[in-house]
Amino acid sequence: LELADALRGALDRAEISVVFQPIRGGAGFADLVGWEALARWTHPDFGPVSPVEFVPIAEDTGLIVDIGAFVMRRAARQLADWQRLFGSQALHVSVNVSSVQLMRDDVCGLVAGVLEETGLEPHSLWLEITESVVLDRTDMALQALVQLGEMGVKLALDDFGTGYSSLSYLKDFDLHVLKVDRAFVRNLAADRRDQDLTKAMIDVAAALRLEGVVAEGVEDEEQAAFLLELGCSMAQGWLYGKPLPAEEATEAARETL
């Protein structure tokens, strides 16, 4: 309750910031292909509050609408800077979108405005949605996803394989990317079942002719080697970089690009 009150003024007090974690692709996952934008909240008294704690509060209170719009705008502007700096239109930014935003806000209008304002190509913007979004199956959320797909932004299914896994929703709108949850990556080198399940998810993506699969939570070379062997196209995790403020993420990117 205390947190909910504190969160209410957090945007206005500039306590919310955005950090960026690199996503790698290509042979040996050697290429930087983009970043995931992640919200951070630092309260003057409580210190850093994890999004695991404040995102649900933001969703319950509706504050996620403004916070989500802030993160999207901040991420898109940063990507436009990076595309210019590194001379590559192929770099993307991936932004988490809550089901509450899809149900309560005009996300299509927000995205259209942000694209216009930054001049980014629609395919440079990835929106990460969770299975719960799709499973809510409200007409409005699904309609928004269809419309966003038509606008040319890329839709990525986050935390794939956890939650209520049903494949039926994969036919309701155009999905472009699957993100394999780090629960499957953690013991990949040792656990045969995690290998089989990860392979199955990669095969689902191939069968649906999706553009790629991002494995999350990649922490060591052994996991990366298994993922490459299984045909995974992209990877994200501490092995390649932690989520960092834009300036530090820029420095880290210089070393890769």
Instruction: Verify binding: residue 65, ligand G, rule CB under 6 A.
Output: no
**Residues 15, 44 contacting (CB under 8 angstroms):** yes
Does 159 participate in binding Na ion (rule CB under 5 A)?
yes
CA distance 83 to 188: 34
Q: Answer whether 127's CB lies under 8 Å from 148's CB.
A: yes
Please, which residue, 105 or 158, has the CB nearer to Mn ion?
158
Q: Which stretch binds ligand G (CB under 6 A): 46-54, 82-90, 119-127, 223-231?
A: 46-54
Alpha-carbon distance values, 191 to 160, 183, 196 (Å): 18, 12, 9
Q: Considering the rule CB under 5 A, would residue 181 count as an interface residue with Mn ion?
A: no
| Alpha-helix runs per DSSP H in 62-130 | 64-86, 99-104, 107-118
Establish if 158 lies at the interface with Mn ion (CB under 5 A).
yes
Q: Structure tokens of 18?
A: 């955005």
Task: Write down the least CB distance from residue 71 to ligand G, Å.
Answer: 4
With a CB cutoff of 8 Å and minimum separation 6, the contacts of 148 are: 107, 108, 111, 127, 155
Q: Which of residues 87 and 164 has its CB atom nearest to ligand G in the complex? A: 164
Least Å from the CB of residue 2 to Mn ion: 27
- Write down the least CB distance from residue 234 to ligand G, Å: 13
Given 59, 74, 107, 128, the residue binding Mn ion (CB under 5 A): 128
Q: Which two tokens stand for residue 159?
A: 């935390």
- Site membership for ligand G, residue 51 (CB under 6 A): yes
In angstroms, give the least distance from the CB of 221 to ligand G.
13
Q: Which of 78, 96, 124, 195 binds ligand G (CB under 6 A)?
A: 96
- Residue 105 interacting with ligand G (CB under 6 A): no
Query: Given candidates 159, 177, 210, 253, which one binds ligand G under the rule CB under 6 A?
Result: 159
96 or 99: CB nearest Mn ion: 96
The label of the residue with tokens 């820029």 reads 250
Which residue in 22, 25, 212, 243 binds ligand G (CB under 6 A)?
243
Closest to Mn ion by CB, 59 vs 158, is 158
Cα–Cα dist 27/32, whole Å: 11
Nearest to ligand G of 212, 243 (CB atom): 243
Find the angle CA(243)-CA(211)-CA(92) to the nearest 5 degrees: 35
What tokens appear for 8 in the block? 């209410």
- Cα-Cα-Cα-Cα dihedral sign, residues 171, 234, 238, 217: positive
Residues that bind ligand G (CB under 6 A): 21, 38-39, 50-52, 55, 68, 71, 96, 98, 158-159, 182, 216-219, 237-238, 243
